Amino acid sequence: MSERIVITQDMIRLYDEYTHLTYDRRGFMEKLAKLAGSSAAAVAIVPMIEARQAQAAMVEATDDRLEATAVEFPGDGGTMKGYLVHPKSATGPLPAVMVIHENRGLNAHIEDVARRLALEGFLVLAPDFLSPAGGTPADEDKAREMIGALDRMKAVGNAVAAATFLRGREGGNGKSGSVGFCWGGGLSLQTAVADPGLGAAVSYYGAQPVAETVAAIKAPLLLHYAGLDDRINAGIPVFEAALKEAGKTYELHMYPGVNHAFNNDTSAARYDKAAADLAWQRTVDFLKSHLA
């Protein structure tokens, strides 16, 4: 009888360090093998921790309730590409939302998230922030390297360009907001700093802007954090103090006992359905209240 595989919090923390800090693949596997007891066990564990893009979508790309298309729009110094989707049943202008991907680029999971949001009654754009580098590759390790090499200010400029594009897009109501996950959660907040026209910003476990920039934020914020995400949560006290001092409108929700990337249903070990469902409903309600 095969031994049951147990995924520990140390293994999940190691994967988070690998995907966000400095480990290469070989170094990650060596460290994971030590935690797992063998190289064979490490190989078996990786698919349970990693995001698996082959996972079935919650809303299929062929869903006939939606109209989805590939679009291009002017970015900060070049052409940006993205995935635009809206419900076919819309009878009037819709509030528009930009969905900002994780550090893996624009992949099938983020397109699925965009479709889920469109079904809630939004015009949704998921930009590919790797457009300036040729677009998101299939190799996620390569995508992470490319994200790490991006000029951060250019990425912010491209996010502002995407939000501006949405405000002028036919079918929209002239308002735009942002929702970002992980790397995109941080960029969603940076967009709120840089774009005074942004109507609302949602961040899922994203890095916080420096306190000195908080005064520039005009948009109300919705902040989702994972209780076990020590790396990101370390920045919360200073950020929240700056928000309070500047009199900003925000909601902060901590989800106890869950990991960074708890919303990503393609990662079996980190996804938490209860937290994801609650955060999603809060997100939809928040965006509707500020963008409708």
pLDDT tens over the chain, length 292 residues = 345 667 888 888 888 788 776 667 788 888 888 888 888 888 888 877 776 665 668 999 999 999 999 999 999 989 999 999 999 999 999 999 999 999 999 999 999 999 999 999 999 999 999 999 999 999 988 999 999 999 999 999 999 999 999 999 999 999 999 999 999 999 999 999 999 999 999 999 999 999 999 999 999 999 999 999 999 999 999 999 999 999 999 999 999 999 999 999 988 778 999 999 999 999 999 999 999 9
- For the structural domain made of 66-291, what CATH number should be given? 3.40.50.1820
pLDDT of residue 22: 62
Region of 18 (left: φ > 0; alpha: ψ -120 to 50; beta: rest) is alpha
Supply φ then ψ for residue 81, to 5 degrees: -115, 155
Q: HSE on the CB side for 97, CA within 13 Å?
A: 32
pLDDT of residue 51: 67
Between CA 194 and CA 24 the distance in angstroms is 33
pLDDT of residue 2: 43
Cite the DSSP H helix spans in 50-149: 108-119, 140-149
pLDDT of residue 187: 98
Encode burial over 210-240: b for 16+ CB neighbours within 10 A, e otherwise: ebeebeebebbbbbbbbebbeebbebeeebb
* Residue 54 near residue 14, CB atoms below 8 Å: no
Strand partners, 255: 226
* Residue 28 near residue 10, CB atoms below 8 Å: no
Q: For strand 221-226 and strand 200-204, is the pairing parallel, antiparallel, or unpaired? A: parallel
What residues have CB less than 8 Å from 162, skipping those under 6 apart? Answer: 73, 75, 80, 82, 98, 125, 127
Sequence spans of domains, the chain: 9-49, 66-291
* Residue 187 near residue 110, CB atoms below 8 Å: no
CA-closest candidate to residue 129, choices 166, 168, 103: 103
Between CA 205 and CA 180 the distance in angstroms is 9
Encode burial over 51-77: b for 16+ CB neighbours within 10 A, e otherwise: beeebebebeeebeebebeeeebebbe
**pTM to 2 decimal places:** 0.89
Element at 161 (helix H, strand E): helix 152-167
Query: Which residue shows structure tokens 């994801």?
Result: 276
